[in-house]
Amino acid sequence: MIRDITIGQYYPVDSPIHRLDPRVKLAGTMLFLVSLFAFSGYLGYVIAAVFVGIVIKISKVPFRYIVRGLKPVLILLLFTLLFNVFLTREGKELFSWGIIHIYDQGLIIAGLMAVRLILLVIGTSLMTFTTTPNQLTDGLEKGLRGLKKIKVPVHEIAMMMSIALRFIPILIEETDKIMKAQQARGADFESGKLLQRAKALVPLLVPLVVSAFRRANDLALAMEARCYHGGDGRTKMKPLKYKKRDAVAYLILFGYVGLVIGSGFLF
C-alpha cells in the first residue's frame, strides 16, 4: 500500500547516530555516496557494506524498517539489473536465445550495480531516519551559509524542504483517501492500457492539487500569524554546535573513505 513508504521519514529513537550534528551526517552521506563510486575491486563492497551495517546497528533503526523503504526503488533496481544483464557483451556466454545473449560478466556487473544502488539508498535513508527534517534543514542552512554571499536564498530553500517533508505523509494519506473515494464511484486505477491509466489519474490529481494549494494557503497564513518573516533575526531552539563526538565521527568517516579508496590499490 502507498502508506507503507518509509523512505524520507524520521525514525524516532535515541542513538549515538541520532545525536550527531546534522552537518556531520550530511557530509557523511555525501562522502559515502562518493565512496561508493570511488572504489574498484570486491573488497570495497565488503568495506562499504560492513560500514553501513555498523552504522545501522548503532542507529537502532530496525533493519526490516529500512528494507521496507527499499520497495519504491525496486522497479528502478530491476530495470538497471536487466539493462546490465542484457547489454553487457563481455566474458563467457552463458545463455543465448534469439537476440538475447547473457554473459557471465553481465551477471556480475548487474549484481554489483544492484549492491551499489541498495547501499546508496540505504545510506541516504539512514540520514533521514536519524535526522529530523528540521535538523536536516538546519544543517543545510548552516552548512551552506557561505552561499548566501552569492545571493542563494539558503534559509528559504531550507524552510521549503522542511515543509515539504512535513506534508509528504499528509498528502500521501490524502491521495489514498481520494483514490478510495473515486473507486467507490467506480473509478479503476489498476487495469487498462497506459493511456487509459493516465486518464484515470485526472480525477485523482485535480482534487490533490486543489487540496495542496488550499493547504499551502492555510499554512502561509498560519506562519505569518506566528510572525514568520524569513531568516533575518531568527533564533533557534536547537542551535547547531559541534561537539566532541562530531569530531570523532568525522575522523571515522575519513578513515572509512581512506580505507575504501585504498582497498583498490591493495589488491
Partner 1 sequence: MKKSMLRTKNLVFEYIRRDEEGNVEDILRALDDVSLEVQKGEFVAILGHNGSGKSTVAKHINALLSPTEGAVFVNDMDTQDEEHLWDIRKSAGMVFQNPDNQIIATVVEEDVAFGPENVGVPTEEIWRRVEESLTAVGMTAYRTHSPNKLSGGQKQRVAIAGIMAMRPDCIILDEPTAMLDPVGRKEVMKTVHELNKIEGVTILLITHYMDEVIDADRVIVMDEGKIVMQGTPRQIFSQVDKLKGYRLDVPQVTELAYELKKQGVPMPDGILTVEEFTAAYTAVKAKYGQGSV
Partner 2 sequence: METTRDLQECMVLDHVNYVYGEGTAYEKHALRDINLVIGKGEFIGLIGHTGSGKSTLVQHLNGLIAPTSGHIYYRGNDICAAGFNKKELRSKVGLVFQYPEHQLFETTVVKDVAFGPKNMGLPQLEIDMGTFAALKEAGVSEELYDASPFELSGGQKRRVAIAGVLAMQPDILILDEPTAGLDPRGRDEILDRIAQIHAEGNRTIILVSHSMEDVAKYASRLIVMKEGSVFCDGTPKEVFEAYKDLEKIGLAAPQVTYLSEALRQAGVALPHNATTLEEAKELLLADWKGGIR
Contact footprint for partner 1 (CB under 8 A)? 10, 12, 132-134, 162-163, 165-166, 169-170, 214-215, 218-219, 221-229, 233-239
Question: What, of partner 1, partner 2, none, does residue 188 touch, CB below 5 to 8 Å by kind?
Answer: partner 2
For 4, 140, 167, the CA distances from 173, given in Å and listed in that order, are 10, 28, 10
Element (H, E) at 100: strand 100-103
Q: From the CB of 126, what's the least distance to partner 1, in Å? A: 17
Give bridge partners of residue 95 from the DSSP assignment: 102
Q: Cell match 502561509: residue?
A: 220
Q: From the CB of 173, what's the least distance to partner 1, in Å? A: 9
| Contacts of range 105-109, beta carbons closer than 8 Å, 24 or more positions apart | 109/84
Contact predicate 249/28, CB 8 Å: yes
Question: What, of partner 1, partner 2, none, does residue 239 touch, CB below 5 to 8 Å by kind?
Answer: partner 1
Residues at the contact surface with partner 2, assessed by CB under 8 A = 64, 177-178, 180-188, 202-203, 206-207, 210-211
Of 107 and 212, nearer to partner 1 (C-beta) is: 212
β-strands 93-97, 100-103 pairing: antiparallel
Question: What, of partner 1, partner 2, none, does residue 178 touch, CB below 5 to 8 Å by kind?
Answer: partner 2
Cell numbers at 257, concatenated: 573513505
Question: What, of partner 1, partner 2, none, does residue 226 touch, CB below 5 to 8 Å by kind?
Answer: partner 1
